[in-house]
Structure 1
Amino acid sequence: MEKKTEELMKKCENLDDTTVMGSCQVLLDMMKEKNVKLEDDPEQTYLGMAENLSPKDLSKVLEMALKVRESGAIKDVELKNAASRIIRAIEMS
């Protein structure tokens, strides 16, 4: 899993894809709407991040998407699906 995550992070560095950016926007908006907190980043303001999302933020959003998808504490299927869409979009880019 670690190697795959590293490969995805590298792809994010130079990615400027509107589809991926749109998926990121959806996830961030959903996390804000559902008041989701990740245990290692409880102070993150997803609204602020969503409002100022740029291609350089993709690696951070990917990291959050991976945490959301793998989290046992997050049970919201819609949120997990949004996270999975980002991961797939980056994998396919």
Structure 2
Amino acid sequence: MRARDIRPRSGSSTRYGIPVRGGLLQENTGAYAVPGFVSVAPVGSGDMWGFVVHDGHCEEAVSMRLHDTGEIVFEAKDFLEFVATRGLRRP
């Protein structure tokens, strides 16, 4: 990847040289951070798929954080099951 591909757009900020605007780093820091949950992928509706954290370690289970209620709901027992049931579906 060329350096110009990872530079932030005008008006965005960086952390550790990584663009923060609109990325996963933004979703997991500052006002966007959810204690005990690491967001890893947007659902497309404002909700986020991710992992619940206990004692500094992510669970194997994939969960979804609902943006309107803040509720975290179970989605799959592990990433492989998540990919098999969600990622390999036909539209």
Superposition TM-score tier, normalisation by shorter sequence: under 0.3
By percentage of residues, which structure has more strand?
2
TM-score, structure 2 normalization: 0.26
Bigger radius of gyration among the two: 2
TM-score, structure 1 normalization: 0.25
By percentage of residues, which structure has more helix?
1
